[in-house]
């Protein structure tokens, strides 16, 4: 089996051999060119220079002889002696650089002739000989001998120049040969590289591309794909491993599908027998599975979208749960869904529970809609409210007679009372008045809850509301030694409210604040704009309320432990809550560290676009 490694070694090994061959040839040609250049520079060039110096020295010696003919003997002899030495130096160079056949013979002839020349120059420059005889000797013997020596020097120069020309031609031929050899090697290397690239594409790239495409198909869910495993290299082994992996995935998917199908069937069968309306939606709001009651009561059939059912409240609950990522009940508190089945009336409270993909992935994979059956609770609540209303109405008649009788007795219209009788009647009067207030609160709460206390909603100034709410308590606060401070200014936007009902809210909050504020304390009324609402606050300087009781203050019949028996039965704040929420606002209470407590409620700001 030839693997990818062997194929890469084969291709890159060929390139490496080409590079090595090119390197060896380059070194050899460079050495040859260096030798040719050395011949030119080191051998022939030195002989040429030496012969030229000998020729120049002869010319200067001849000039020195002529100087002596002119009567300048000292200067002429100086020139002759200097150039004789220069000639000998050049001749020694030439004799030590013999490189060509025949060059040594000519150099020896120059040496012999120059020896003769030196003897003749002594005769020509001898001052004891007559000038004419010296001149005759110069022109007849010395000058021809000088020409002969120059001729031999010229011949030596020509021999070396010819050899230099031959070496130059040889260097050119070697350079041309090296150029052609290098060009051929480069072309061969390029061809081998091209062949290796083509083979690499066939051996490596094409199988890898096919493998990538196959893996992409598997990633998209095509587990039935089988990769080609005909190649006997690493790609083939990898393809075989992918085929094994795909086979394993197919088995696992089949097992998961079987288990999912069983789970779905179990879920469907269990859902059929569940009494509560329940539906499971996917991430897009399509019903996947539902109980018979959910399908029958609310049209939640498998396959339909919750947006298309026509229940806006159901769409709102689902969207709110998906948006918040947590379980939510309905858009408004205590919002029950009424449904008639046969001759019976049912009440349901919808709850939407988002289902994440997993503990690590918090994205919503679907939503479970659960309709909690609150029919019995609703009936019990209606029964309790009916009983309370009936009892309250039935008690008012005997209580009115009892109060009238007590008042008549206290007025002593039917006889005088002693002191003890008067005290007992005064206590009876106070208790009957307290009982009358309890019955009034019960009836008022019943009217609000039943919708029989319609609100006269009008735009009104927050400052005007606060002033009317405070006015009935100014005298009582002054007698108690408590200051009531109104910090609400007239520049606040108008709110939408029923002034008479809001006066009842202020009355409950102010009466509570005054009850728990000691003489010398202060009750402060304030208001501020918050998110398209006006927040009204009643702050006192009492002892405050324990934090564990704050969440229960607005519940019916809830009383903070430790209060006096005459403080009421715990309906005042419940009535406040019902009134404010009927206006579309909210209520709450807070503790102020070391300063007392603050009760607040909100009312919507007037919107001219809605008027």
Kindly report the CATH number assigned to the domain that includes residue 348.
Answer: 3.30.450.20
Exposure class string for 540-564: b at 16+ Cβ within 10 A, else e: bbbebbeeeebeebbeeeebeeeee
**Alpha-carbon span 210 to 228, nearest angstrom:** 9
325 and 460 in a single domain? The answer is no
312 and 281 in a single domain? The answer is yes
439 and 485 in a single domain? The answer is no
500 and 579 in a single domain? The answer is yes
pLDDT for 44: 79
Q: Is residue 82 part of a domain?
A: yes
pLDDT for 286: 82
Which residues, other chains included, contact 69 with Cβ-Cβ below 8 Å and sequence gap of 6+?
131, 134, 135, 138
406 and 467 in a single domain? The answer is no
Domain that residue 361 falls in? 277-373
Q: Is residue 575 part of a domain?
A: yes
pLDDT in tens, 196-213: 777 766 666 677 777 777
In the chain, how long is the greatest CA-to-CA distance?
203
**Alpha-carbon span 526 to 510, nearest angstrom:** 13
Q: By the 8 A CB rule, do 600 and 589 touch?
A: yes
412 and 464 in a single domain? The answer is no
pLDDT in tens, 249-286: 778 877 877 787 777 777 766 766 676 788 787 878 78
Tokens of residue 296, six digits: 């029958």
For residue 610, pLDDT over 50 is answered with no
**Alpha-carbon span 388 to 386, nearest angstrom:** 5
180 and 48 in a single domain? The answer is yes
End position of a domain, from candidates 422, 449, 476? 449
464 and 587 in a single domain? The answer is yes
Classify residue 336 by its DSSP letter.
P
Q: Is residue 219 part of a domain?
A: no
For residue 551, pLDDT over 50 is answered with yes
H helix or E strand, kind and range, residue 294: helix 292-298
32 and 178 in a single domain? The answer is yes
Q: Is residue 263 part of a domain?
A: no
Q: What percent of the chain has pLDDT over 90?
A: 9
Q: Is residue 210 part of a domain?
A: no
pLDDT for 462: 93
pLDDT in tens, 589-602: 888 756 788 999 99
pLDDT for 91: 85
For residue 340, pLDDT over 80 is answered with no
What average pLDDT does this structure show over 111-136? 86
Q: Is residue 241 part of a domain?
A: no
For residue 611, pLDDT over 50 is answered with no
pLDDT in tens, 38-91: 555 566 788 888 888 889 988 998 888 888 888 888 888 889 889 989 988 988
DSSP β-ladder status, 533-539 and 483-486:
unpaired
Higher pLDDT, 14 or 531: 531
- Residue 514: which CATH number? 3.30.565.10
311 and 410 in a single domain? The answer is no
Q: For all residues of the chain together, what is the average pLDDT? A: 77
Q: Is residue 260 part of a domain?
A: no
What average pLDDT does this structure show over 1-26? 67
Q: Is residue 328 part of a domain?
A: yes
pLDDT in tens, 27-39: 776 766 666 565 5
465 and 424 in a single domain? The answer is no
Residue 533 pLDDT class (50, 70, 90 cuts): very high
End position of a domain, from candidates 449, 468, 485? 449
**Alpha-carbon span 177 to 196, nearest angstrom:** 28
End position of a domain, from candidates 161, 185, 209? 185
178 and 86 in a single domain? The answer is yes
Domain count, the chain: 4
């Amino acid at each position: 089996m030839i693997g990818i490694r062997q194929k890469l070694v084969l291709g890159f090994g060929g390139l490496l051999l080409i590079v090595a061959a090119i390197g060896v040839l380059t070194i050899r040609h460079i050495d040859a060119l260096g030798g040719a250049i050395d011949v030119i520079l080191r051998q022939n060039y030195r002989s040429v220079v030496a012969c030229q110096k000998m020729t120049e020295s002869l010319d200067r010696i001849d000039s020195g002889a002529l100087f002596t003919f002119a009567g300048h003997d000292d200067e002429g002899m100086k020139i002759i002696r200097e150039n004789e030495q220069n000639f000998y130096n050049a001749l020694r160079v030439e004799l030590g650089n013999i490189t060509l056949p025949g060059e040594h013979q000519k150099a020896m002839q120059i040496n012999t002739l120059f020896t003769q020349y030196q003897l003749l120059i002594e005769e020509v420059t001898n001052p004891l000989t007559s000038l004419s005889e010296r001149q005759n000797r110069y022109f007849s013997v010395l000058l021809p001998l000088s020409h002969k020596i120059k001729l031999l020097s010229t011949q030596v120069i020509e021999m070396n120049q010819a050899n230099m020309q031959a070496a130059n031609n040889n260097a050119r031929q070697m350079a041309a040969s090296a150029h052609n050899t290098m060009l051929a090697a480069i072309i061969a290397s390029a061809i081998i590289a091209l062949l290796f690239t083509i083979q690499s594409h066939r051996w490596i790239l094409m199988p890898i591309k096919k493998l990538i495409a196959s893996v992409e198909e598997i990633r998209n869910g095509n587990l039935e794909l089988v990769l080609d495993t005909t190649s006997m290299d690493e790609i083939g082994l990898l393809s075989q491993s992918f085929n094994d992996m795909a086979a394993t995935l197919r088995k696992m998917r089949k097992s998961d599908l079987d288990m999912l199908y069983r789970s779905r069937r179990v879920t469907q069968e269990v859902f059929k027998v569940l009494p509560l309306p329940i539906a499971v939606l996917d991430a897009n709001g399509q019903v996947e599975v539902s109980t018979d009651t959910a399908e029958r009561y609310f049209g939640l059939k498998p396959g339909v979208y919750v947006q298309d059912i026509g229940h806006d409240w159901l769409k709102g609950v689902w969207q709110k749960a998906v948006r918040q990522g947590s379980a939510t009940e309905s858009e408004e508190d205590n919002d029950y869904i009424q449904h008639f089945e046969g001759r019976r009336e049912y009440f349901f409270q919808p709850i939407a529970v988002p289902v994440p993909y997993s503990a690590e992935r918090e994205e919503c994979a679907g939503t479970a809609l659960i309709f909690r059956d609150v029919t019995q609770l609703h009936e019990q609540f209606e029964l309790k409210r009916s009983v309370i209303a009936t009892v309250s109405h039935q008690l008012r008649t005997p209580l009115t007679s009892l109060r009238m009788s007590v008042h008549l007795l206290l007025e002593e219209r039917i006889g005088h009372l002693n002191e003890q009788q008067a005290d007992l009647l005064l206590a009876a009067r106070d208790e009957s008045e307290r009982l009358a207030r309890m019955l009034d609160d019960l009836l008022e709460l019943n009217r609000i809850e039943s919708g029989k206390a319609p609100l006269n909603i009008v735009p009104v100034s927050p400052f005007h509301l606060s002033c009317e709410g405070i006015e009935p308590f100014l005298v009582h606060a002054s007698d108690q030694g408590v200051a009531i401070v109104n910090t609400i200014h007239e520049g606040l936007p108008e709110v939408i409210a029923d002034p008479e009902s809001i006066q009842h809210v202020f009355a409950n909050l102010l009466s509570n604040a005054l009850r728990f504020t000691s003489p010398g304390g202060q009750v402060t009324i304030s208001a501020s704009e918050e998110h398209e609402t006006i927040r009204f606050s009643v702050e006192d300087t009492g002892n405050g309320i324990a934090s564990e009781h704050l969440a229960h203050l607005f519940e019916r019949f809830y009383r903070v432990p430790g209060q006096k028996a005459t403080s009421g039965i715990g309906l005042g704040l419940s009535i406040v809550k019902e009134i404010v929420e009927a206006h579309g606002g909210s209520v709450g209470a807070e503790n102020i560290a070391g300063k007392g407590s603050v009760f607040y409620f909100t009312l919507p700001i007037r919107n001219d676009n809605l008027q």
